[in-house]
Amino acid sequence: METLLQDLIGLGFTTLQAQIYMTLLTEGEQSGYQIAKVIGISRSSVYAALEGMYQKGIILKLNGEVASYIAQDPKILLAQMTQSFREHIDSAETQLSGLYDDRREERYTNIHGFDSIVSSARNALLNAKKEVYLNTDFDLSLFSNEFNILAKRNVRILVFSFATLETKDLPIEFYSHEDSQCEEEKPSRLMLVIDCDQALVADTYKKRGSWLGTITNNALFVSIVAEHIHHDIYLLRLKQERQREVITESIKLHTLLENK
């Protein structure tokens, strides 16, 4: 019974309300005096609680010479509470989102060090609600826990890599050039987009030596990173469909970027 008491309190009952409801369920119809006697508390406290519970539909009042009470059917009560909770959640979500969007500022946060970047990526992943885009040569098992959590929420996860990575048992859509290889245990880049709303980019290279990254909600920055990952996948799929490279000399622009 102690577990039930705590469950009812968790649902918003006061301790006294929970005790009264449990008493009416176990004892049946009771007057305020009888309830107070069973619980061992003053009648004035019980009467005040009973009136509040009656107004909320938790209990039903039977009018007679002396008013008595019965517990509302638990199935009906919980259905009513569930419906009310959902309505409040929907209303609060709409209003809170509006407040958040009105006051939201675009921020750029710099991240230093491999461990900090991995931690930031994990936290960002856990905030995803619809889709995740990822371009990386990281060991994907670093994010296996987060991927599995997102999969349970039906979040779609698209991963592109120029490296051949281990993806066994990971709930992701993986795209990779089969003929590409990366040095083992030497990741070099991470590009992550969460719900087309937040982006994280990070890298390291021999000349710098250390890991640096940025996470931001700037709309243009997020769009550029999301488009980059999509274009990587588009080009890969075109190559696979045509069974040849699609970036040929005839369409190159001969820029610094192409010659890197």
Q: Is residue 170 part of a domain?
A: yes
Sheet containing 131-136, strands listed edge to edge, beginning at the edge strand earlier in sequence: 108-112, 212-216, 198-203, 189-194, 131-136, 156-161, 173-176
Q: Is residue 174 part of a domain?
A: yes
CATH number at residue 55: 1.10.10.10
Confidence of residue 212 (pLDDT cuts 50, 70, 90): very high
Residue 216: phi and psi, rounded to 5, are -150, 160
Tell me the C-alpha distance between 95 and 60, whole Å: 34
Tell me the C-alpha distance between 39 and 162, whole Å: 69
Q: Residue 136's closest CA among 150, 149, 125, 151?
A: 125
Tell me the C-alpha distance between 200 and 121, whole Å: 7
Q: Is residue 190 part of a domain?
A: yes
Six token digits for residue 183: 């040095």
Q: 42 and 163 share a domain?
A: no
- In tens, the pLDDT along 20-69 reads 999 999 999 999 999 999 999 999 999 999 999 999 999 999 988 888 99
What integer pLDDT is reported at residue 104 of this predicted model? Answer: 65
Residue 118 half-sphere exposure toward CB, CA atoms < 13 A:
14
Q: Is residue 83 part of a domain?
A: no
pLDDT, average across residues 189-207: 93
Structural contact between residues 38 and 20, judged by C-beta atoms closer than 8 angstroms:
no
What integer pLDDT is reported at residue 173 of this predicted model? Answer: 96
Tell me the C-alpha distance between 37 and 39, whole Å: 6
Query: Does the pTM exceed 0.85?
Result: no
Structural contact between residues 246 and 238, judged by C-beta atoms closer than 8 angstroms:
yes
- Give the range of the structural domain holding residue 215, as residue numbers without chain letter: 108-242
Confidence of residue 178 (pLDDT cuts 50, 70, 90): low
Q: Is residue 67 part of a domain?
A: yes
- In tens, the pLDDT along 150-164 reads 999 999 999 999 988
Q: 121 and 29 share a domain?
A: no
Share the mean pLDDT of the chain.
90
Tell me the C-alpha distance between 232 and 247, whole Å: 12
Q: 168 and 66 share a domain?
A: no
Q: Is residue 98 part of a domain?
A: no
How much of the chain, in percent, has pLDDT values that exceed 70?
A: 95
Helix residue ranges per DSSP H, the chain: 2-10, 15-27, 32-39, 43-56, 74-103, 114-126, 144-152, 219-242
Confidence of residue 103 (pLDDT cuts 50, 70, 90): low
What integer pLDDT is reported at residue 179 of this predicted model? Answer: 57
Q: Is residue 222 part of a domain?
A: yes
